[in-house]
């Protein structure tokens, strides 16, 4: 469509120029009516070209916005707006691959909202959704660096990925999360630990090598989370990373 438009425009332009040169060379009487007709046709084509360009620009913009929206839907959790499990797993693979070349320590946390089923039973699922959003926002506010991120792992469980973070750094962030959740003071009357929402955290840290997998780190952090729950919740537990052997 656009090719035909440009080709037609070029033909009219070439004819007008050649005809003018021919008339002038022969010193013949110049037909202004013919020239005006050509000029009007040329003007119409220019308007069509501008209209087609505007449509193309809008289409390009709409496609770009649609692609961004699609990326958001693929990467982000629909409820909380933070990253989802798929993004976390893909990112963890890339992080391990990159850090295996450069060296460094990776820390991973698993975070669970304590007694969340009782929260839903007491306040209803819509309030439960609000609670998860507030917890997600609080966890996000507790990590400082651009490379650190929080993802919703599923249900009331979250994963926290901390590249280039050692054990002491991970412990500091876990302390921040516990304090910030406490300061949020989200009411939870059926929570046996406190009258507000609390969280349990499991942490693992390891020196990154290429044979490791993200699933290994998640499994290890999940084991630490289980210990936190078993020991009374509203706390964190740290265990050294242990790579699963095939």
Give the active site residues. 156
Closest CA to 142 of 217, 224, 201: 201
Tokens of 8: 């037609």
Show the tokens assigned to 53. 């360009």
DSSP secondary-structure letter at 243? P
Q: Is 29 exposed, middle or buried (0-12, 13-18, 19+ CB in 10 A)?
A: exposed
Identify each DSSP E strand in the chain by its residue range. 105-113, 149-154, 157-163, 199-207, 236-240
User: How far, CA to CA in Å, does 16 sit from each of 8, 11, 116, 168?
Assistant: 12, 9, 79, 79
Q: 112 in helix, strand or coil?
A: strand
Q: What is the DSSP string of 12-62?
A: HHHHHHHHHHHHHHHTPPP-HHHHHHHHHHHHHHHHHHHHHHHHHHHHHHH
Largest CA distance in the chain: 105
- Tally the C-alpha atoms within 13 A of residue 31's C-alpha that lie toward its C-beta: 10
Using CA atoms, how far apart are residues 192 and 183, in angstroms rounded to an integer?
A: 18
């Amino acid at each position: 469509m656009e090719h035909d438009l440009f080709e037609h425009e070029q033909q009219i332009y070439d004819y007008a120029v050649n005809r003018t040169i021919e008339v002038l060379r022969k010193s013949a009487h110049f037909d202004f009516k013919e020239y005006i007709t050509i000029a009007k046709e040329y003007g119409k084509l220019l308007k069509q070209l501008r209209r087609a360009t505007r449509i193309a620009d809008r289409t390009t913009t709409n496609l770009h916005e649609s692609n961004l929206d699609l990326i958001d839907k693929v990467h982000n959790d629909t409820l909380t707006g933070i990253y989802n499990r798929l993004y976390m797993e893909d990112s963890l693979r890339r992080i391990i691959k990159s850090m295996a070349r450069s060296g460094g320590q990776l820390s991973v946390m698993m975070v669970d909202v304590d007694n969340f089923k009782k929260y839903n039973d007491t306040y209803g699922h819509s309030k439960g959704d609000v609670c998860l959003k507030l917890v997600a926002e609080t966890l996000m506010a507790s990590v400082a660096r651009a490379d650190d991120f929080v993802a919703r792992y599923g249900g009331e469980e979250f994963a926290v990925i901390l590249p280039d973070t050692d054990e002491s750094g991970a412990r500091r962030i876990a302390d921040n999360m516990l304090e910030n959740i406490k300061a949020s003071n989200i009411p939870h009357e059926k929570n046996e630990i406190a009258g507000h929402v609390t969280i349990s955290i499991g942490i693992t840290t390891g020196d990154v090598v290429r044979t490791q997998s993200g699933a290994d780190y998640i499994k290890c952090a999940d084991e630490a989370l289980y210990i936190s729950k078993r020991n009374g919740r509203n706390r964190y537990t740290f265990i050294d990373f242990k790579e699963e052997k095939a």
